[in-house]
Homo-oligomer: A and B are copies of this chain.
Amino acid sequence: MSLLPIQLKHLAGISQLLPKNNPGGPPLQRDEASGLHWFNLYKSSTPAQNSMLPILVDLNGNHLWLNCEQQHLTKLYQAPFCHSTQCIRANTHQCLSCPADRPGCHRNACGLLSTNPITQQTGLGELGQDFLGVYLAQGSQLGPILVIPNFLFSCAPSFLLQKGLPKGTQGVAGFGHGPISLPNQVASHYGLEHQFTMCLGRHSTSQGSVIFGDTAIYMPRIHKQDIFHEVAVTPLTITAQGEYNVRVNSIKVNQHTFSLPTQPEDSGAAGGTMISTAAPHMVLQHSIFEAFTKMFAQQMPKQAQVKPVAPFGLCFNSNMVSKFPNVDLVMDRPNGPVWRISGEELVAHVRPGLTCLAVVNGGMQTRAPVTIGARQLEERVVVFDLARSTLRFSTSTLGSRGLKCGDLVNFVHY
């Protein structure tokens, strides 16, 4: 660290965002068609041509999986043997035996179950170990690449890539809490704090990014504002299925509040609310969906409401609507920190004149009563702190303060 905290009060200009040993992290892109987010891995075999592998961001995934058949691996690729320390680290005692000797297929290797987070399909792949390269600059094959040697991941069956993912996706990166998730392997390798910051970009002018390790020790002041200003904290828990959870105490639509049913403290859905980059829109369990939709509709001019268009349950004639209500998620406890979602963030402009409430009815059997989707994460700073088990989040969008995720990218210093 190069500056003493006694200087913090003197910092009035641009400061170093990241400590010396922190490589930052990849810029993220948003796929227009699906609303999902992805980044480029470096494909090592033929460097000069077409060396970028698009990989989907899966917040709750516990490992990175790839289709290895397309020669994406270096000559250093190995499949750790059954009962090896690497397999146990990846939490697998399952031995695989496959007659050929190519990536994804070896005798005496370990099996790892991978999931397509959109379709929920699973497939058994081979645990592999190789160099991982992640592009740190966007839009170019040139420039710095973050490299982790001995990175553990799965060579998954190619059918897993076929449905649900943006066109051209070659794999899925898990940002979950597990020992071989992408953030945990990066943090271990660099001796970083076990946390990561995510800022998902909404517009083509605003690039998203993930930053590994601790970020804002010194806060960058852009246009005299501080991108990490107005960040609140709430406890983070992990469900029995390994997903991130937070607790939403109640939901307010304008001033009208309704409480969420409390979760027993030791239930599987620990906090009660999931967060997912694989769900573009917020998902509510059926009864919560009904209550919320009704409350939202009551805040809108009755005459603006029109027949809903699938998959949405509440739609409006946009010409007759001037403003949508704000929706506040009150986190953790009755007067806890507020995750303010502007009405604009909760609607989808289906076609000219038709705007719908972009919240999905998950049915009776959802993984969690509430799932915060990618859309609600966009244009916010969200920090998953796995050392302290907290989530820090922008209370309102960066846009409401004249900033955007793209501003953060410009300041990924080291």
Taking CB atoms, residues of chain B closer than 8 Å to A85 are 177, 194, 236-238, 385-387, 389
The stretch among A76-84, A323-331, A365-373 that forms the contact with chain B is A76-84
Among B108, B191, B387, point to the contact of A150 (Cβ < 8 A): B387
Closest to A179 in B: B179
State A244–B378 Cα separation when bound (angstroms).
45
Q: Tell me if A95 counts as interface (CB < 8 A to partner B).
A: yes
Enumerate chain B residues within 8 angstroms of A271, measured Cβ to Cβ.
83
Contact with B along A229-246 (1 / 0, CB 8 A): 000000111111010010
Tell whether A401 is near chain B: CB-to-CB under 8 Å.
no
Q: Which of B87, B188, B194, B389 contacts A84 (CB 8 A)?
A: B389
Interface flags for A386-397 (1: CB within 8 Å of B; 0: not) read 111100000000
Residue A265 is within 8 A (CB to CB) of chain B in the complex: yes
Known: A93-B240, A240-B93. A86 touches B387 (CB 8 A): yes
Within 8 A of B (CB), among A76-117: 80-89, 93, 95, 108
Instruction: Judge whether A190 is part of the interface by a CB distance below 8 angstroms.
Output: yes
Contact of A191 among B83, B84, B188, B242 (CB under 8 A): B188
A238 touches B191 (CB 8 A): no
Interface residues of A in 111-130 (CB under 8 A from B): none
Distance (Å) between the CB of A89 and the closest chain B CB? 7
Q: Are A95 and B266 in contact (CB under 8 A)?
A: yes
Of the candidates A82, A83, A194, A237, the one having the most CB atoms from chain B within 10 angstroms of its own CB is A83
Do A86 and B389 touch (CB < 8 A)? yes
| Residue A270, interface by CB 8 Å | yes
Q: Is the CB of A191 within 8 A of B80?
A: no
- Give chain B residues whose Cβ lies under 8 Å from the Cβ of A235: 81, 84
Residues of B within 8 A of A265 (CB): 82, 95, 108
Number of copies: 2
A184-224 interface (Cβ within 8 A of B): 187-192, 194
Binary contact track A347-386/B, C-beta < 8 Å → 1, others 0 = 0000000000000000000000000000000000000011
The answer to whether A21 has its CB under 8 Å from any CB of chain B is yes
Assembly CA distance A150 to B385 (angstroms):
12
Verify A84–B237 contact, CB threshold 8 A. Answer: yes
Known contacts A95-B265, A387-B150, A389-B81: A88-B191 contact under CB 8 Å? no
Q: Please indicate which of the listed interface residues A88, A93, A95, A192 has the most CB atoms of chain B within 10 Å of its own CB.
A: A88
Verify B238–A84 contact, CB threshold 8 A.
yes
Enumerate A170-191 residues with CB–CB distance to B below 8 Å: 177, 179, 187-191
With beta carbons under 8 angstroms apart, the residue of B21, B83, B237 that contacts A270 is B83
- Which of B88, B89, B190, B238 sits near A88, CB closer than 8 Å? B238
A266: which of B21, B82, B88, B188 is its contact (CB, 8 Å)?
B82
Q: Which residues of B contact A239 (CB under 8 A)?
A: 83
B residues near A80, Cβ cutoff 8 Å = 389
Q: In the complex, A245 Cα to B385 Cα: how many Å?
A: 35
Output the residue of A85, A242, A271 with the most chain B CB within 10 A: A85
Indicate if the CB atoms of B84 and A21 lie closer than 8 Å.
no
Q: How far is the CA of A88 from the CA of B62 in the complex (A)?
A: 13
Cα A190 to Cα B265 in complex, Å, equals 35
Please, how many angstroms separate the alpha-carbon atoms of A237 and B108 in the complex? 13
List the B residue with the shortest CB-CB distance to A389.
B84
Which residue of B88, B245, B270 is within 8 Å of A177 (Cβ)? B88
Which 6 residue pairs are nearest across A and B when measured between Cβ atoms? A191-B191, A84-B389, A83-B270, A83-B237, A85-B389, A88-B238
A-B contact pairs, 9 of them (CB 8 A): A81-B389, A82-B270, A83-B271, A84-B235, A84-B238, A85-B237, A85-B385, A89-B179, A179-B179
